[in-house]
Structure formats: structure tokens, C-alpha cells
Copies of this chain bind each other. A is one copy, B any other.
């Protein structure tokens, strides 16, 4: 084990996200580390002596045993049985699919960074942040993780990585449509995502990564698709907006970008089915068994929906609903649709976007490229992706997903007696929180314990407090909230939280529980059963994680 002192958070598993901050070289970088790399993470063809220089410099600042162990791993990486970096081109060229096959220690662990491919199998055990964390990247790109763990973005880390280069990515991988498989043109996904269903693609952020960064990297943002991902040519794409006079306004992507000011909003999206697995454990709903990761947070950029509706002739005092249709559809041609209240769409405080940017990048295909609705504070299902059409009318969307799904019912309602018209379509969501670390069943160490998680409420209601219990809800501690400042009534983004607690000697197990309170002082219900419902939506009960306590 590389660092022998107990981890800060007391987990028995290796889990040290702050390891580099503890290394002396970070504070006093040796002069030999001053070099340059390509700004856009281009290929590197010179590994050679520079790596050895770094090792020596690092050795000066770290314990000798540590460095010897580290050096041993690095030497083994350079042995002939490992593909060694050549002094110059050419490197073999691999597709992303080929890289993706190397997703375990058995198949060797390959990762990409920029357009380079690395075999890091021999580094896995030595990874100071823990084997489990680095394996999340196996077969995929490092960038989403380095966005979470910003300490990696330093030259000496890049230099270490460089020693493991085995190839380069093929520059273009056009989709290969397979007749008969409507999902054949779905995009490549990051292998770290926890997949619920592959077709349609539904996957959540790995829970241990959720609370690592306020903004979820795009590749790790949860994905909730109902159908195949539409293939859209941005050059010919048009958004159809029904004007108040009844005519249709057709807008290209360039029209949206040029004719309307860009507005940016940080907003959390949550699937109505987030945490459904806990409901399924009580009585199976036979619907996607989401864990706590069907929620993510991003900075969105786009045109304000109210600007576009104003251009289409609508006035703030008008009434009704704004209905959206996507380009995604089933094999019978039924397109996905949903609506939000006109009042929300037109409110100066509503911040509803037609978004084409996500965390400063072009909207990824899985997240709605080229254009999606971002209706902050409102359930994910109304944030229609691959937006094709906007209409305004007196009625809500007549789609299945507005009328016969994404509604909440009493636990007494069954499929035999359900009256879908009796419950309103979910818009705002209730106050929610979950523990993301430690995970269920983890073994934690006596002494210091760090509990992490997220909390969020719908309707712009800020989370004002998170209470954490280590004894199943008998006593409570206040967690430290680390969310950003938000405007009153427009708190669209989650709060991440952390509790540094003490596990008393002699403790054998713990029931860790969290509950959040929002600005309307709404509380979460204690248990899942009384809010269980046939659709398995709206699980906002206290989140509970049972852990055992043992020695490291």
C-alpha cells in the first residue's frame, strides 16, 4: 500500500482523493518539472529521461519506502512484456471500441486522454487514489475523472501517464448503422456509468463520484433515454415554434445562437425515478431500478425560452401550457413529449432554457444534442431532449409521459384501480437528499469518518440544512453544505454536503441516515413504504446506508 497512514475518511478501502495535496512536490515543484505539453492534450512522443528525472525529484520529497515501491511499479511498467512507448511515431491506432474492450485487469486496463491511448494495468495497484477509483475509468476516457479530481491536472501527473502510452485513437469513428438495430447509432458512452438498460440507454453516475464535483462532468452525467438517440445534422436542424397567431416559426441552431442572448443557468436534473431501487425492494414496480445516481448538476447555456416565446408573439399574461416534442421516437413513430406551465416558461425568474451548451461544451448526443429544454426545478422528464417542436395551448401535453407516467399516487393505488387523471403531472419535485459515501455495506474504520452526499429541492427552494444521523435517526448532526450561493427562489442547483464525524471505539456497525430541509422548511419522510407508488417515482425518504466498522 502506497500511503500507510490511515485515510482521512476512515474507509478500509483505499480512497484518498487528496493524496497529491499531501505530496511535498506540489508545494515545491522541482525545476526539472518545468516543461510544456500540448494545450489540447496532443500526442506525446518523448518519454525517455524526463520521467526518471521526475522520479528522482519526487523521491527527494517522499518517504524512501514509498518511492521505492512506486519506482518498482514504474520499472515494471517499462519491462518488455508491457507495450513500451517508442521514441517516436508511429504508434498503433485504436478505435474507442477497441479501447473499451480493455476494461479490467484481466483484459488489461486501457484509458484514453486526448487522442492518446494508455495501458495503465501496472499502475492500477499503485494508484494513490485507490484501485477502485482508477478502475472506474477502465476502457474509457480519463477526462471526466480529472474534471472531478482536479489535482490530476498537473504536469508531473501527465508525465507519469506518458510512460504508459501504447497507441493513439483513430481520428474519426463514423457511426456504423446496423439495419435492424434502432440503437446501432447510439453514441459511445463512458464505461464508468452504471447501466440500468442498454437499449434504450439508461445509466447513472457512479455513486462514489456524485459528490466529488459540484458540476457533474458531461460524460458522467446520468442518462435517461426513452428511445434511440436521434442522429441530428446541426446544419439542417430546425426547431419549429408555433406562434401565437398560429403560424410556425422555424429556427436553425444558428438562429437560436445569434438572435437570442445566451443565458446560463446552473441546474440539477433529477429523474422522477431516482432511488427507485429502494421502492422496488419493498414491492417491485418492474421499472428501472435507479440507485441514488439518477441526478446530476451542470452549467447550461442557451436561449431563454421566454425570449423565443416572446418572439413568437406570446405575452407574459397568457395562460396554459408549453408543450415540447423531441426527435426521439419509438418504432411506431410516437415521439417523446411533455409540457410545463406557461407561467413557469414566461416567468423572469423561471430561467427556462433552450440549451445548446452543457458545462461549456456542445450538448452531448445523450443529453439532447443539438437542443434541449432545461426547466430548472422541474422533474427531468419535462426537460425534453433533441427538441423538435414547441406549441402553446390550454392543455398539458397529451403524451403518454405527461398523462400516464411521471405522476405520484397513494400507496393504496394499484394497477387495477389507478385513475391517472386524479393526480397532477409531476413538475416541481420534493426535497431530496442521499448519502454517496460511504456506500451501502462498506466497512469503515473507527476514528474519523467522512460522510458525503447531495441535497436538492424542486421549485427553486434552496436546501438550508442537511441532518445526518449515525444511529439510524435517533440523534442528528448538521452537515457542512458546500453549494454555491444562489438567488432566492431560484436555487436550481443542488448542495453537496459533508459531515466529518467520529466513530467511537467499539462500534460494530452503523445506520447512517440523511435528511434535508428546504427553504419552505419541507422535510423528507422517514421511510419509503408510506410513499411507495405503482410508478416507483418520487422516492424522497430519508436515505439510509448501513456500514460495518472494522480495522483497516
Contact = CB atoms under 8 A, between A and B. Distances in A.
A519 interface: yes
Q: Which 6 A-B pairs have the closest CB atoms?
A: A428-B520, A526-B526, A523-B525, A430-B522, A522-B522, A412-B476
Interface stretch (A78-86, A87-95, A356-364, A457-465): A457-465
A112 interface: no
Given A526-B527, A526-B530, A476 B411 contact: yes
B522 A412 contact: no
Interface string A480-507: 0000000011000000000000000000
A523 B519 contact: no
Contacts of A411: 467, 475-476
29 contacts: A343-B488, A408-B517, A411-B467, A411-B475, A411-B476, A412-B467, A412-B475, A412-B478, A423-B464, A423-B465, A424-B519, A427-B519, A428-B521, A429-B521, A430-B520, A430-B521, A430-B523, A458-B520, A459-B520, A467-B530, A473-B530, A476-B530, A522-B522, A523-B524, A523-B525, A524-B525, A525-B526, A526-B526, A526-B530
Interface residues of A, number: 42
A426 interface: yes
A515 interface: yes
Contacts of A120: none
Interface string A408-425: 101111000000000110
Interface of A: 341, 343, 408, 410-413, 423-424, 426-431, 458-459, 464-465, 467, 473, 475-478, 488-489, 515, 517, 519-527, 530-531, 538, 540
Contacts of A408: 517, 521
Given A343-B489, A488-B341, A489-B343, A465 B517 contact: no
Contacts of A429: 520-521
Nearest to A532: B476
Given A412-B467, A428-B519, 6 more contacts: A410-B467, A411-B475, A413-B478, A427-B519, A430-B521, A458-B520
A196 to B, nearest CB: 22
A520 B430 CA distance: 6
Contacts of A430: 520-523
Contacts of A527: 526
Contacts of A531: 523
Contacts of A526: 525-527, 530
Nearest to A408: B521
Contacts of A410: 465, 467, 476, 478
A513 B430 CA distance: 21
A138 to B, nearest CB: 39
Q: Which of A343, A431, A465, A477 has the most CB of B within 10 A?
A: A465
Contacts of A426: 521
B341 A412 contact: no
A530 B430 CA distance: 18
Contacts of A459: 520
A424 B465 CA distance: 10
A429 B461 CA distance: 12
A428 B520 CA distance: 5
A458 B540 CA distance: 19
A294 to B, nearest CB: 16
Nearest to A409: B465
A275 to B, nearest CB: 14
A526 B283 CA distance: 20
B523 A540 contact: yes
A465 B538 CA distance: 14
Q: Which of A408, A410, A515, A524 has the most CB of B within 10 A?
A: A410
A517 B426 CA distance: 12
A477 to B, nearest CB: 6
A451 to B, nearest CB: 15
Contacts of A465: 410, 423
A430 B527 CA distance: 18
A101 to B, nearest CB: 43
A467 B478 CA distance: 31
A179 to B, nearest CB: 43
Nearest to A541: B523
A538 B524 contact: no
Contacts of A428: 519-521
A343 B426 CA distance: 25
A488 B425 CA distance: 13
